Amino acid sequence: MASASAVDTMPDALRQSRYHMKRCFSRFTGVGRRLMKFHQLKDEIDQTIEDKVERSKVLEGSLGDILSSTQEAAVVPPYVAFAIRHNPGVWDYVKVHADNLSVDIITSTDYLKFKEVIFDENWAKDENSLELDFGAFDVCTPRLALSSSIGNGLSYVSKFMTSKLSKNSESAKPLVDYMLTLDHHGEKLMINEALNTVEKLQVALVITDVFLSALPNDTPYQNFEQKLKEWGFEKGWGDNAERVKQSMRILSEILQAPDPLNMEAFFSRLPVIYKIVIFSIHGYFGQADVLGLPDTGGQVVYILDQVKALEEELVLRIKQQGLNVKPQILVVTRLIPNAKGNKCNQEMEPIVNTMHSHILRVPFNTEKGVLGPWVSRFDIYPYLEKFSQDSTAKILELMEGKPDLIIGNYTDGNLVASLVASKLGVTQGTIAHALEKTKYEDSDVNWKDLDSKYHFSCQFTADMIAMNAADFIITSTYQEIAGSKNRIGQYESHVAFTMPGLYRVVSGINVFDPKFNIASPGADQSIYFPFTEKKSRFTKFQPAVEELLFSKEDNDEHIGFLADRKKPIIFSMARLDTVKNITGLTEWYGMNKRLRNLVNLVIVGGFFDPSKSKDREEMAEIKKMHALITKYQLKGQIRWIAAQTDRYRNSELYRCIADTKGAFVQPALYEAFGLTVIEAMNCGLPTFATNQGGPAEILIDGVSGFHIDPNNGDESSNKIADFFEKCKVDTRYWNRISQAGLKRINECYTWKIYANKVLNMGSVYGFWRQLTKEQKQSKQRYVDMFYNLQYRKLAKKSAIPGEEKAILETHETQ
Ligand code: UDP
Ligand code: LCN
């Protein structure tokens, strides 16, 4: 990135405050080698320049700007190197000599090398350490420049296509050639060889327009099909004269003088997508009795809703195209032979509320047999290659050919999607839900320490492969790509990073790449609707929910009780992962007397007996919950309910909490998106959600809900207490926030908007990959090599020693 003026002024700024800065830098380097974050730097400065007035004088102007934009500083005496993030996606790196304060602007590569010295000096200094540069292949990829354009890839690709196709009268030939390739099971669509040049097509469109204008708008396509065929047109333009005429006019406009709006509109009409494969591999992928199990949460909910929305949109589009084609969607997941109490051990399952969509489960085959038990998402890597081969065979059989679009979910699904899409030559989209890298501080440089537990070496390698192989990337929020003012984005953290001893990534992904698209999910509004819609309420669940919340005895499903049921309830529901911070919320509540006097606390998540859990983090969180309940003597004020699996009943639970004039609290240390946040808001429940991640974007603080800081429990619990105190004084306040939350949802977070966007992406990027074929192929070669030389080795190494035992276990249970 071009260096910003703030960095250019750094030498002068340091010179002006030379006395204080020399002391600060000598403090930075004094403690030895290390990596410092912004707040640590700030603490050191505060302690060095004790006088507040002096300090603010030093820090005003460019020095203060640079410091506040510093993400981290690497200290290798006598130097301190700064990674400075001016704006989302815009970085600079400088190296300062602590003694003479000389400043060098350095490249990201030099910064990474410098930082590596802290962790593995020999490797850092080895000229032959593996260095990856995916950006080297992006020579022809048009770049966006403004941070505000990040995530709008579709509209920019339409613009780039427009300029590519409008250079001269023959530039539109690739579009004609592309249309000539369209068919469905051997039957030609749109045009045939009679219209194989731009000129012929243009002339035919004009003649046809005159012909169609003479027909009543609602004339069915069949009535003039023969005539159009004579002129070289095939099916797919529309179901009646009006629709066909509109589609042809859009194309005429494009051939005459292309513009991005017509371009996107035309591609949204093209008959190119009928068969979609969605990979979601880890966890328990099922429609009932699975939510809340380890690794099984929002991703499953998201995909089931997504499939329903995509199918509806496909059916509508196919009808409008005038075709008699059945769409088909397959969600491909892992078959878990040892699954008990749910259907994850069945091969095929139709998806409820759809006509043409199924779950296909393929087992993990190993050399020793089929793997029986659930495997954590962190340990899944050794099985994915074989899984991709086995599932490809099954998909081709069930779909009677190749799919038109492949979408991956999460690291494992995205890697398999990349392998299958590359093998079959199909357009590929990826969805991360959450990239693990930013969830754990410095997980890249500390990968060696974390690898036995998390296998981040495999995970980050797989993520790099998928994001570079994908034709387009779907994200739920802007922050997922490029973060916010102060927080680095999930994808942005892959721009340049290093795993000392393994490899250095000097260009992993570019957040300005037009493959990025924000398409936010919704919540199923036939399930999650406002508590005020009395007639639609699922009253049959109300006695069970009443029991769940208020009965006095402990049982397998709940422990603790609410002594004063007149108090409003603050409610939270999540998998019991550390990062969800349910124990944090329990502790904030325990410590805040004012809040305890105002409200009760209800938690849904996990089990009560740690020995029942197979998940490392869950076990620890369960133990912590029990300890907190005892430590803060919460009995009588807390109800802890075990993980819930029924979405319909859960929705009534949200609404019953709204009946108490309570609130939903999402306290996660980091949340990629946060479906519970939009579920609660859809039910009209005022919501407090973490300011770390997606929820910061979903709700507007103080208007449609509230942000809380998971790293500042006191402030957060007081903010919640203030709300309930205010509601006591002004009873309309609660309703105001509830309604503003609903308004926000209906404006921005619905599945209809989502499905429309995603199918447009499939269509537009399907053509774009043809237009940029050479570049795509060369990058794919690089990706293949990385897969072969790195991923396979790492995956093999990550195999769990207990695998053999697990396989035997399966045979016993079969
Ligand atoms: N959920 C559930 N029962 C539980 C915990 C969670 O049904 O015990 C559901 C919750 O309603 C939401 C999803 O699981 O639909 C969790 O999605 P979210 O995006 O909040 O988090 P994730 O688990 O995907 O990280
Ligand atoms: C995974 C997560 O961690 C959540 O933040 C998302 O809401 C969920 O997937 C659905 O995308």
Between 9 and 737, the more confident residue is 737
Is the pLDDT at 801 greater than 80? The verdict is no
Strands 90-97 and 103-106: antiparallel
- When pLDDT is averaged across residues 211-238 and rounded to a whole number, the result is 98
Whether residue 434 has its Cβ less than 6 Å from ligand 2: yes
> For the chain, what is the mean pLDDT?
94
* Single-letter code of the amino acid located at 788: N
The Cα–Cα gap between 529 and 745 comes to 11
* Single-letter code of the amino acid located at 798: S
The predicted pLDDT at position 506 comes to 97
Handedness of CA 203, 204, 206, 210 (dihedral sign): positive
- From residue 10, give the alpha-carbon distance in Å to each of 7, 43, 101, 381: 5, 20, 10, 46
Residue in this structure with the two tokens 């402030």, named with its chain if needed: 715
- When pLDDT is averaged across residues 708-722 and rounded to a whole number, the result is 97
Residue in this structure with the two tokens 């036995």, named with its chain if needed: 452
User: pLDDT band at residue 3, thresholds of 50, 70 and 90?
Assistant: very low
In the beta sheet, which residues pair with residue 720?
none
- From residue 147, give the alpha-carbon distance in Å to each of 87, 88, 144, 483, 515: 7, 6, 8, 10, 15
The predicted pLDDT at position 138 comes to 86
DSSP H stretches of helix in 556-706: 582-591, 593-598, 616-631, 647-659, 675-682, 695-698
Instruction: Identify the weakest region by mean pLDDT among 51-55, 208-212, 407-411.
Output: 51-55
Which ligand minimizes its atom distance to the CA of 680?
1
The predicted pLDDT at position 205 comes to 98
Is the pLDDT at 498 greater than 90? The verdict is yes
The Cα–Cα gap between 666 and 291 comes to 17
Which ligand minimizes its atom distance to the CA of 409?
2
643 neighbors 666 (Cβ within 8 angstroms): no
Segment 114-162, tens digit of pLDDT: 999 999 999 999 999 999 999 999 877 777 888 889 999 999 999 999 9
- 686 CA to middle of ligand 2, Å? 20
| Residue whose CB lies within 8 A of the most ligand 1 atoms, among 285, 289, 291, 377, for a mutation test | 291
The predicted pLDDT at position 813 comes to 40
The predicted pLDDT at position 5 comes to 64
Is the pLDDT at 206 greater than 50? The verdict is yes
Which protein residue's CA is at the shortest distance from atom 11 of ligand 2? 433
The predicted pLDDT at position 613 comes to 86
Whether residue 672 has its Cβ less than 6 Å from ligand 2: yes
Instruction: Identify the weakest region by mean pLDDT among 54-63, 593-602, 617-626.
Output: 54-63
Handedness of CA 570, 576, 578, 583 (dihedral sign): positive
The predicted pLDDT at position 807 comes to 58
* Single-letter code of the amino acid located at 801: P
Identify the DSSP state of 194: G
CA neighbor of 482 nearest in space, from 723, 632, 317, 693: 693
Segment 414-453, tens digit of pLDDT: 999 999 999 999 999 999 999 999 988 899 999 999 999 9
Task: Give residues (CB < 6 A) around ligand 1.
Answer: 291-292, 297-299, 301, 573-575, 604-605, 643-644, 650, 673-676, 679
Identify the DSSP state of 152: B
Could you write out the three-class secondary structure of 436-486? HHHHCCCCCCCHHHHHHHHCHHHHHHHHHHHHHHCCEEEECCHHHHHCCCC
Segment 677-700, tens digit of pLDDT: 999 999 999 999 999 999 999 999
% pLDDT > 70, the chain:
98
The predicted pLDDT at position 160 comes to 94
Which ligand minimizes its atom distance to the CA of 477?
2
The predicted pLDDT at position 486 comes to 85
The predicted pLDDT at position 141 comes to 77
The predicted pLDDT at position 2 comes to 40
Atom of ligand 1 at shortest range from CA of 647: 7
Whether residue 675 has its Cβ less than 6 Å from ligand 2: yes
- 523 CA to middle of ligand 2, Å? 12
The Cα–Cα gap between 654 and 531 comes to 8
Is the pLDDT at 717 greater than 60? The verdict is yes
Segment 342-368, tens digit of pLDDT: 999 999 999 999 999 999 999 999 999
The predicted pLDDT at position 803 comes to 58
The Cα–Cα gap between 368 and 807 comes to 7
- 424 CA to middle of ligand 2, Å? 29
Is the pLDDT at 814 greater than 90? The verdict is no
Would you state the structure tokens that stand for residue 335, as one six-digit string? 């078959």
Which phi and psi angles does 172 have, rounded to 5°? -85, 0
- When pLDDT is averaged across residues 178-201 and rounded to a whole number, the result is 96
Would you state the structure tokens that stand for residue 331, as one six-digit string? 């969600």
Segment 327-345, tens digit of pLDDT: 999 999 999 999 999 999 9
User: pLDDT band at residue 806, thresholds of 50, 70 and 90?
Assistant: low
- 645 CA to middle of ligand 1, Å? 9
CA neighbor of 151 nearest in space, from 671, 520, 511, 484: 511
| Residue whose CB lies within 8 A of the most ligand 1 atoms, among 295, 306, 575, for a mutation test | 575
User: pLDDT band at residue 7, thresholds of 50, 70 and 90?
Assistant: confident
Q: At what angle do helices 52-59 and 18-30 cross, to 10 degrees?
A: 100
Q: How many of the other CB atoms lie within 10 Å of CB of 127?
A: 5
- When pLDDT is averaged across residues 748-765 and rounded to a whole number, the result is 95
Handedness of CA 235, 238, 243, 248 (dihedral sign): negative
Is the pLDDT at 106 greater than 80? The verdict is yes
Handedness of CA 607, 612, 614, 619 (dihedral sign): positive
Angle (nearest 5°) at CA 633 between 632 and 637: 105
DSSP states of 246-293: HHHHHHHHHHHS--HHHHHHHHHHSS---EEEEE--SS---SSS-TTS
- 312 CA to middle of ligand 1, Å? 24
- 697 CA to middle of ligand 2, Å? 14
Handedness of CA 435, 438, 439, 445 (dihedral sign): positive
Would you state the structure tokens that stand for residue 487, as one six-digit string? 């927080």
The predicted pLDDT at position 144 comes to 82
- From residue 468, give the alpha-carbon distance in Å to each of 151, 246, 473, 776: 16, 37, 10, 10
The predicted pLDDT at position 393 comes to 98
The predicted pLDDT at position 802 comes to 63
Atom of ligand 2 at shortest range from CA of 476: 11
